[in-house]
């Protein structure tokens, strides 16, 4: 391409989208679309007309969708909205990407699995969501992959960062307010830094734009998380220790912390397909957490 490729970034104000605005900048011209429209065009994924209008106005060379309905517990009582954003909107995004013949990259979740296993989940393992959120995310990824578009779906897990609502920021706030906390210790997964997700996205798109990767060969479903695994209690311990906080932590079972939405007890994702395909190393979750906390401290 003679001109810089135009990248339509949907959900640019979320924790992953905020990082993508920076990591994608060297790759192409980023058009940052969000519901509020603070940094670019306003887009409402519930409104098909809004989505079509933004595609027509931007005429993108690629799309990255970082928007999602992520309120896991609220989704149990608000399934229509969750389905509209996480599921139905992906039908349309896939249709438009196929029409424009452009690549589209989208993020999904470990919550598509039931957690009833003792080994990391592979991409070809059968999904079995336990929650409305998990089901709507599964519907969205399946719709996108079936759309005929050159689509990449990156399933990830336990995303945290310096923006938005996430476990890291919640813990840091609670550490300032309390001297003792009880944290669930029987759910196992992999904390994943939003910046790492944004960085691998930028690297992939750069290689696609330069012709180093052919979308026909790489399109499909991939698991992308940091390496390693821990419990929410182990994650909280690491945050406490790395931040130098004296808060006392007590491990508890999920049954002691009831929530509207069921969570998978074990949702570690096998990332070998991603590493083999793209040749990118995924850092240990503790290493990324240390870098994120250093970033927060300035």
Cite the active site residues: 133
Decide: 254 and 265 in contact? Cβ < 8 Å.
yes
Give the Cα separation of 52 and 158 in Å (integer): 31
Length of the chain in terms of residues written:
298
Instruction: Kindly give, in sequence order, each residue whose CB lies less than 8 Å from that of residue 1, ignoring residues fewer than 6 positions away.
Output: 61, 209
Closest-CA residue to 238 (of 140, 154, 165, 160): 160
Q: Give the pairing type, strands 230-231 and 188-189.
A: antiparallel
> CA 21, 106, 95 angle in degrees (round to 5)?
115
């Amino acid at each position: 391409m003679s001109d810089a490729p135009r990248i339509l970034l949907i959900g640019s104000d979320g924790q992953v989208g905020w990082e993508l605005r920076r990591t994608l900048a060297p790759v192409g011209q980023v058009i940052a679309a969000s519901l509020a429209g603070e940094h670019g065009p306003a887009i409402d994924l519930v409104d098909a007309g809004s989505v079509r209008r933004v595609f027509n106005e931007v005429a993108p060379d690629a799309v990255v969708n970082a928007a999602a309905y992520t309120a896991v517990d609220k989704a149990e009582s608000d399934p229509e909205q969750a389905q509209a954003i996480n599921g139905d909107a992906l039908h349309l995004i896939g249709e438009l990407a196929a029409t424009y013949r452009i690549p589209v990259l989208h993020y999904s979740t470990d919550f598509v699995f039931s957690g009833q296993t003792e080994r990391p989940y592979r991409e070809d393992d059968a999904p079995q969501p336990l929650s409305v959120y998990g089901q709507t995310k599964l519907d969205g990824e399946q719709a996108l992959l079936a759309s005929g578009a050159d689509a990449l779906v990156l399933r990830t897990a336990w995303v945290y960062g310096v923006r938005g609502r996430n476990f890291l920021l919640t813990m840091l706030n609670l550490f300032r307010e309390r001297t003792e906390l009880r944290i669930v210790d029987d759910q196992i997964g992999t904390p994943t830094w939003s910046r790492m997700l944004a960085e691998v996205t930028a690297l992939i798109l750069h290689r696609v734009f330069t012709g180093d990767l052919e979308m026909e060969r790489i399109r499909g479903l991939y698991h992308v998380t940091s390496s390693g695994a821990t419990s929410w209690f182990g994650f909280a311990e690491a945050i406490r220790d790395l931040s130098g906080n004296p808060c006392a932590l007590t491990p508890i079972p999920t049954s002691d912390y009831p929530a509207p939405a069921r969570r998978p007890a074990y949702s570690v994702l096998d990332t070998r397909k991603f590493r083999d395909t793209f040749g990118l190393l995924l850092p240990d979750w503790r290493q990324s957490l240390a870098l994120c906390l250093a970033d927060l401290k300035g």
